[in-house]
C-alpha cells in the first residue's frame, strides 16, 4: 500500500527539527551569511538534541534514524538555513562509506568519536582536476608494510577546516582508472594541511576548505571495503546521501515560497495585493507544484534505501529535480518581491544564492541527468550487498 501519511513519531521528529530551526537557526541565519560565521554553537546544540549524525547506528552511539527520517530533518533544518544544515549534515557524507565498508574496529573508533563528542568528519573525493570525473583523481595511497601513505590534494571539502578525521579517496593502482581507487579513514595529524577556506556565493556559514595530505600515514586497517573498490563505495555513498541533499533543496524552496506568498498578500500594486494578480498567482502555483513533486521524489528515494533497495535512479531523479526546483523557486521568489527581492535587506536574495550550490555539490544537475539517462537506457543490475567489507 502506498501511504504518504507520517507516523506520530515522524511528525514529532519533524516538529523537533522545525522548532530547532525556528529557535536556533533562523534568528542568526542572515547575519551568519553576511559574516561567514562558523556556527560552532549551533552544531553543538544540534549534536546534543540528536539532529546530527542521525544515520549512525545505535550500536555505535548514534540515533540510528532511517533515511526517510533523515530527509524530514534535513528539509526542516535547511528551511532554517541550508548553509548551517550543510555543516550539521556533513558527518553523514563522511560516515556513510565507514558504515558501508569499515571494519568493526574502525566503526567503533571513528563513528564512536562523533557520537561521544560533537566532533566533525569530512568526505574528501573532489580534487582541483577531478570533480565530476571522479576517476581522474591524482591523490595516491601507497602500501608500505602495515600502513598506507597518502599524498595529494582535495578541494571543496565541507567542514574540512574543522574535521577531526577524513574519508579520503586515493589511487592505489593509478593505471586502472576507476578500478584503482581505494577509500580510507584518515585522522587529522600534522601532515594534514588545511590550505584554504573558500569565500563562497552562498551557504556562507558552512566551511569549505582545500586539504592537502602530505605523506600522511594510516594503518592498513583504515582501508574501507576492499582495495581498489573505492569508486563503487563512493557511488553507493552518493546514492545514500543525495536524497538528503534533495530534502535540503526542498527546504530552501519552501522557505522562499513562504516568504514570497506572505509578501504577495501584503504588497499592494494597482490598488490590490499583488496576490490578486494572475501573473503572481501562476508563479505561486508553479512554485507549490514543484515543491510538492520534489518532496515526493525525495521521500521515494529515501524509502527505497530504508527497504534495502538500490535507489540510484530515484536518488538522481530527486537530487536533480529538487535542486533545479530550489533554483527556480528562489529565482521566482525574488521576482515576486520585484526590485526589493534584489536587496539584501529582504530575505529571498540569500535563498537564491544558497540554492545555486544544490545544482553543484554531490553531483551537478548534469551528472544526475547522465546517471538518469544511463539507468534508463541501459539499466544496470548491480548486486549490492549492504556492506562491502573485504
What is the grid cell recorded at 199? Answer: 569565500
Smallest separation (angstroms) from ligand COS to the CB of 172: 14
Q: Restricting to residues 105-134, name those near ligand COS by CB under 6 A.
A: 125-126, 132, 134
Asked if 367 is part of the footprint of ligand COS (rule: CB under 6 A), the reply reads yes
Asked if 380 is part of the footprint of ligand COS (rule: CB under 6 A), the reply reads yes
Helix axes 40-49, 8-20, angle to 10 degrees: 160
When binding is defined by CB under 6 A, the residue of 88, 238, 301, 305 that contacts ligand COS is 238
- Which DSSP letter does residue 341 get? G
Residue 328 annotated to the active site: no
Smallest separation (angstroms) from ligand COS to the CB of 360: 8
Long-range contacts at 186-192 (CB < 8 A, ≥ 24 apart) = 186/124, 186/150, 186/213, 186/216, 186/218, 186/222, 187/218, 188/163, 188/164, 189/216, 191/215, 191/216, 191/217, 192/166, 192/216
When binding is defined by CB under 6 A, the residue of 113, 235, 276, 288 that contacts ligand COS is 235
Largest CA distance in the chain: 79
Asked if 373 is part of the footprint of ligand COS (rule: CB under 6 A), the reply reads no
| Interface characters, 309-348, with ligand COS (x: CB under 6 A) | ---x------------------------------------
Cα 51 from Cα 61, distance rounded (Å)? 13
What is the grid cell recorded at 284? Answer: 505561486
Is 26 in contact with 81 (CB distance < 8 Å)?
yes
Number of neighbours of residue 86 by Cβ within 10 angstroms: 26
When binding is defined by CB under 6 A, the residue of 231, 257, 263, 337 that contacts ligand COS is 231
When binding is defined by CB under 6 A, the residue of 10, 66, 135, 191 that contacts ligand COS is 135
Q: Which residue has the cell 563528542?
A: 117
Residue among 31, 362, 383, 384 flagged as catalytic: 362
Cα 87 from Cα 96, distance rounded (Å)? 16
Smallest separation (angstroms) from ligand COS to the CB of 349: 25
Nearer to ligand COS, 45 or 229 (CB): 229
Active site residues: 362
Binding footprint of ligand COS on the chain (CB under 6 A): 125-126, 132, 134-135, 178-179, 231-232, 235-236, 238-239, 312, 361-363, 367, 370-371, 380, 382, 384
Amino acid at each position: 500500500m502506498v501511504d504518504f501519511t507520517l507516523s506520530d513519531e515522524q511528525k514529532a521528529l519533524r516538529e523537533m527539527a522545525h522548532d530547532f530551526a525556528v529557535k536556533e537557526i533562523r534568528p542568526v541565519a542572515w547575519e551568519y551569511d553576511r559574516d561567514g560565521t562558523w556556527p560552532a554553537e549551533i552544531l553543538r546544540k544540534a549534536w546534543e538534541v540528536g539532529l546530527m549524525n542521525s544515520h549512525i547506528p545505535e550500536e555505535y552511539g548514534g540515533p540510528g534514524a532511517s533515511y526517510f527520517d533523515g530527509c524530514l530533518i534535513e528539509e526542516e533544518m535547511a528551511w532554517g538555513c541550508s548553509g548551517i544544515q550543510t555543516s550539521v549534515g556533513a558527518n553523514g557524507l563522511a560516515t556513510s562509506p565507514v558504515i558501508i565498508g569499515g571494519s568493526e574496529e574502525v566503526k567503533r573508533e571513528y563513528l564512536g568519536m562523533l557520537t561521544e563528542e560533537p566532533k566533525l568528519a569530512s568526505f574528501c573525493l573532489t580534487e582541483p582536476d577531478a570533480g565530476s570525473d571522479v576517476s581522474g583523481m591524482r591523490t595516491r595511497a601507497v602500501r608500505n608494510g602495515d600502513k598506507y601513505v597518502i599524498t595529494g590534494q582535495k578541494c571543496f571539502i565541507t567542514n574540512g577546516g574543522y574535521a577531526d578525521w577524513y574519508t579520503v579517496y586515493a589511487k592505489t593502482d593509478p593505471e586502472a582508472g576507476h578500478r584503482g581507487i581505494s577509500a580510507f579513514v584518515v585522522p587529522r595529524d600534522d601532515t594534514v594541511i588545511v590550505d584554504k577556506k573558500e569565500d563562497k556565493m552562498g551557504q556562507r556559514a558552512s566551511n569549505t576548505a582545500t586539504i592537502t595530505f602530505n605523506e600522511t600515514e594510516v594503518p592498513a586497517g583504515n582501508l574501507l571495503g576492499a582495495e581498489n573498490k573505492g569508486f563503487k563505495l563512493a557511488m553507493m555513498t552518493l546514492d545514500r546521501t543525495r536524497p538528503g541533499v534533495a530534502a535540503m533543496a526542498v527546504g530552501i524552496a519552501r522557505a522562499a515560497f513562504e516568504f514570497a506568498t506572505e509578501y504577495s498578500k501584503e504588497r499592494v500594486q494597482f490598488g490590490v495585493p499583488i496576490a490578486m494578480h494572475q501573473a503572481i498567482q501562476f508563479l505561486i502555483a508553479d512554485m507549490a507544484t514543484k515543491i510538492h513533486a520534489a518532496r515526493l521524489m525525495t521521500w521515494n528515494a529515501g524509502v527505497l534505501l530504508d527497504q534495502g533497495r538500490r535507489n540510484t535512479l530515484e536518488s538522481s531523479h530527486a537530487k536533480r529535480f529538487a535542486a533545479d526546483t530550489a533554483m527556480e523557486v528562489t529565482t521566482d521568489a525574488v521576482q515576486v518581491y520585484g526590485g526589493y527581492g534584489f536587496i539584501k535587506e529582504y530575505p529571498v536574495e540569500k535563498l537564491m544564492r544558497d540554492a545555486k550550490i544544490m545544482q553543484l555539490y554531490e553531483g551537478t544537475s548534469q551528472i544526475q541527468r547522465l546517471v538518469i539517462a544511463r539507468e534508463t537506457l541501459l539499466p544496470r543490475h548491480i548486486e549490492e550487498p549492504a556492506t562491502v567489507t573485504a
